[in-house]
Structures are given as structure tokens and as C-alpha cells.
Amino acid sequence: MSDQPPQVRPHLAQLPGYAPVVPLAERARQAGLQPEDCLKLDANENPYGMHPRVREALAQALSDPGFGSIYPDPNQAELRQALSRYTGLDPSRILAGAGADELLDLSFRAILPPGGTVVTCTPSFGMYPFLADINELNLIDIPRDTRFALRPDKLLEAVEQAGRDNIVVLTSPNNPSGDLVRRDLLRRILDLGATVILDEAYVEFAGMDASAQNLLAEFPRLIVMRTFSKWAGIAGLRLGYALANPDLVTDLIKIKQPYNVNQAAEIAAIAAIDSAAEIGTQIDAIRETRDQLFNALLELEGLTPLPSQANFILIRVDPNVGTGRELHDRLASVGVFTRTYSGPLLTNYLRISVPRADQIDTLKMRLLEAV
Ligand SMILES: Cc1ncc(COP(=O)(O)O)c(C=O)c1O
């Protein structure tokens, strides 16, 4: 008998782990404030929360005595049908998951063998290197330039050299820089025969014209990732989806966890799709508030906002004001919770999610106080 617990495999044990957002209640407690007096602008959620129609659909489902006691549909038939209405694509091209995160993980594991390669362009979403690490994949990083623009020549060169077992992950709009991937660059990468995951988690805030989903028919190696966490206000229920080639979707369905989408998430997502026009009003408001926030930031000495197509803004913080982390901490002490970064590339930056329209004046005041 051993008195030791089983050991995690060495390559996993040594990983630092993902740095997730700290819960609001915890951050408020640290600041000595009540959660309702704080602005949670650190995770790009929908500041208006779940739409009342979605809440109603869930309440109605809860009143059914059978709710939650039977397994959800592993084939996600009704949900995929609803997603088909939302995207205009055939359900055979759609697969849902417990957040885009799950589908990113599934895609990496399903397509790449250990030792395969993920090509990314930092700074971007921290989940990509995390998933590459846990799946024993190599990471090739083609960093963005000093203004956070992609470097097409270097990226194309890397794709050409990366060989067969690789996936290029691009994010449009990018988190945290807020810019879109140009269509011609995407085409050139796909023309090289690369497998591309295009993460469109924030595309609703750019407008659906910005989506590259119409390239799916032409390029069987394109996978478009989306989520209901941002536009639809149900981050806590976990619902994402992938748009891809039907053969790939068939294979992914075979190997996913059979009951990966829980019943509440399914009901909420279908209700959100049925209320997409109403939620669109929230999206319009967020876009308008984004412009107001951008202009307010421009007026603050020492802060330079980057134009954004998403529901957040990356801000360059002048050294006179402090580092991104220092400003983050000062804002946190007055109840404004933002996102800061540990890597050297973003030492002087801070990301802030767009608040509700009625919160913008409070935010402006607290920014003024903290700068
Ligand atoms: C670019 C990007 N992709 C995906 C996600 C995760 O989406 P989900 O909540 O559906 O897992 C995020 C969340 O922050 C993100 O920023």
C-alpha cells in the first residue's frame, strides 16, 4: 500500500494553470465594497445580463417536474436546429458545447496528435496556450506587431513551415486588441491548406457582416467558433458552438462527451435565439456605449484606447500614470474591476469591458479618480 496520492503526469503537474477571472463577490470583498456598488468589467460578459425572455424560458422549464432529471439530447437536435436558424447554416455543420472553451479543447485533441502544433498570434486569448499545454501540443507564436496588428508575411511563412499537424488559431475580433482578421489574409492562410480555427466569440459586437462563416462552404478546413457567453448574457450556463465541415462535425459528435450541453443551457440558448432581435437592442446599446467610453478615455491624459470591434477596449497606460497592473489595482479599490496581464507585451495595458449605458457616468468618475 502507498500513502501517496496518484501523481499528475509530469508535463501537467508543472503547468502554471489558467488564470481565470476572480468571482465578483470575492473582488468586492477585497475592495471592502458591496458587489452591487462595483462595476464588473473584467470578463466581457453582457452587462445587461440574461435577457428577461431567456429568464422566463428557464423559469417555465423549471416549473416542469421533469426538468433536469433526464439526460440532455447527445445529438443536440433541437439546439442545432435553433442554431441553424440563427446562423443560416445547415445543422450538419453545427456542434454545440459547454462554452467555446470545450469545443476548442475538443478540436485540438481530435485533430492534433500529441506533439502537433498550434499557431497563435499573441497577445490573444489565454485559453489557446493553456489548451495546447494540457494536450501536449507545441505552440508557435507569431506575435502581433507593436500596434497589435497581425504580421501576414511572418504568419504565412510559419503556416508554410509548420507541416501537416497544425492548427492556426485566429481571433476576430481579437481579445484583447479588439481588431478583426482581414478576409484576404484568412483566405491566403486557408489557400495554403491550413486548418484554421477562427474564434468569433465577439463577432456580434462587430456586426455579423464581419463573420467569415460564408467561407465554410469553400474551405473544409475552416472551423468557426462562437459563444453565447458574450452577446447572449449566459456565460454562467456555458454554451458555445462550432461551425465546420459536416464530416468533421460527425466525427466530433462521436468523440465529444455525450451530454456536454446541459438542459438549462440548451433552453436558454434556444430562447436567446428566439429573442435575438430583442438582445440585438442590447448589442446596439453596448456598441454605442463603447464609442462613448472610447471618447471618454481619449480625453483622459495618460490613457490611449485602441479602437475596438468587440465589447471591450484595450487601453495603453502611460508610464506617468503607472503600469497596467497599478491602474488596475487603483480602479479595483474604487470598485471597477478590469483585466490586467502578466506578460511583458501588455505590462502597460489594461482591458476594460463596456458597461451598461447607465453605468458610464459612474465609470468616467471613477476613472478620473484613479488616473
Ligand atoms: C476569444 C475568446 N474565445 C472564447 C472565449 C470563451 O468562450 P466560452 O465562454 O464560450 O467558453 C472567450 C472568453 O473570454 C474569448 O475571449
Residue 348 sits in a domain of what CATH number? Answer: 3.90.1150.10
Our answer on whether the CB atom of 204 is closer than 6 Å to any ligand 1 atom is: no
Q: Whose CA is nearest to atom 12 of ligand 1?
A: 201
Whole-number Å distance, alpha carbon 214 to ligand 1 midpoint, is 21
**Domain final residue, candidates 221, 256, 275:** 275
79's enclosing H/E stretch is helix 77-87
Q: How many domains does the chain have?
A: 2
Which whole-number Å values give the CA distances from 159 to 117, 191, 350, in the listed order? 10, 11, 30
Average pLDDT over residues 346-353: 96
Partnered with residue 116 across adjacent β-strands are none
Whole-number Å distance, alpha carbon 105 to ligand 1 midpoint, is 12
pLDDT of residue 344: 83
Which whole-number Å values give the CA distances from 135 to 9, 12, 223, 241, 245, in the listed order? 12, 9, 19, 20, 23
C-alpha cell at 19: 488564470
Our answer on whether the CB atom of 229 is closer than 6 Å to any ligand 1 atom is: yes
pLDDT of residue 240: 98
Residue 248 lies in a domain: yes
pLDDT of residue 162: 82
> pLDDT tens-digit profile of 72-100?
999 999 999 999 999 999 999 999 999 99
Our answer on whether the CB atom of 123 is closer than 6 Å to any ligand 1 atom is: no
Write out the DSSP string of 188-253.
HHHHTT-EEEEE-TTHHHH-GGG--GGGTTT-TTEEEEEESSSTTS-GGG--EEEE--HHHHHHHH
Our answer on whether the CB atom of 321 is closer than 6 Å to any ligand 1 atom is: no
Is the domain of 25 the same as that of 57? no
Average pLDDT over residues 168-189: 98
Residue 65 lies in a domain: yes
pLDDT of residue 265: 98
The model carries a pTM of: 0.97
Q: CA 356, 299, 308, 341 torsion: positive or negative?
A: negative
pLDDT of residue 165: 87
Is the domain of 284 the same as that of 365? yes
pLDDT of residue 359: 97
Residue 229 lies in a domain: yes
Is the domain of 302 the same as that of 226? no
**Domain final residue, candidates 235, 259, 275:** 275
C-alpha closest to that of 170 among 182, 157, 158: 182
With H, G, I as helix, E, B as strand and everything else as coil, classify residue 12: helix
Q: Whose CA is nearest to atom 10 of ligand 1?
A: 99
With H, G, I as helix, E, B as strand and everything else as coil, classify residue 339: strand
Question: Per residue in 115-148, is it b (16+ CB within 10 Å) or e — as a string?
Answer: ebbbbbbbbbbbbbbbbbbbeebbebebebeeeb
Q: Is the pLDDT reported for residue 41 higher than 90?
A: yes
Is the domain of 261 the same as that of 303? no
Is the domain of 223 the same as that of 233? yes
Is the domain of 38 the same as that of 58? no
Q: CA 221, 224, 225, 228 torsion: positive or negative?
A: negative
Is the domain of 248 the same as that of 319? no
Our answer on whether the CB atom of 101 is closer than 6 Å to any ligand 1 atom is: yes
Residue 348 lies in a domain: yes
pLDDT of residue 142: 97
User: Which atom of ligand 1 is least distant from the CA of 240?
Assistant: 10
Is the domain of 231 the same as that of 331? no
Q: Is the pLDDT reported for residue 110 higher than 90?
A: yes
Q: What is the CATH number of the domain that holds 124?
A: 3.40.640.10
Q: Is the pLDDT reported for residue 104 higher than 90?
A: yes
Is the domain of 356 the same as that of 317? yes
Give the span between the Cα atoms of 260 and 100, in whole angstroms: 12
In the DSSP assignment, the letter for residue 22 is P
> pLDDT tens-digit profile of 125-169?
999 999 999 999 999 999 999 999 999 999 999 999 887 789 999
Our answer on whether the CB atom of 199 is closer than 6 Å to any ligand 1 atom is: yes
Helix axes 324-333, 24-31, angle to 10 degrees: 80
pLDDT confidence tier of residue 186, bands split at 50, 70 and 90: very high
Is the domain of 137 the same as that of 105? yes
Task: Residue 346: give the domain boundaries.
Answer: 11-50+277-370
Is the domain of 73 the same as that of 59? yes
pLDDT of residue 343: 80
Residue 247 lies in a domain: yes
Average pLDDT over residues 33-54: 97
Q: How many CB atoms lie within 10 A of CB 149?
A: 13
329 burial via Cβ count (<10 Å: 0-12, 13-18, 19+):
middle
Residue 3 lies in a domain: no
Average pLDDT over residues 162-181: 94
User: Cβ distance 232 to 99 under 8 Å?
Assistant: no
Is the domain of 167 the same as that of 62? yes
User: Cβ distance 264 to 72 under 8 Å?
Assistant: no
Q: Is the pLDDT reported for residue 228 higher than 80?
A: yes
Our answer on whether the CB atom of 120 is closer than 6 Å to any ligand 1 atom is: no
For the chain, the farthest-separated pair of C-alpha atoms sits apart, in whole angstroms, at 68
C-alpha cell at 48: 445587461
Residue 6 lies in a domain: no
C-alpha closest to that of 363 among 288, 285, 289: 289
pLDDT of residue 1: 84
**Domain final residue, candidates 215, 249, 275:** 275
Residue 123 lies in a domain: yes
pLDDT of residue 334: 95
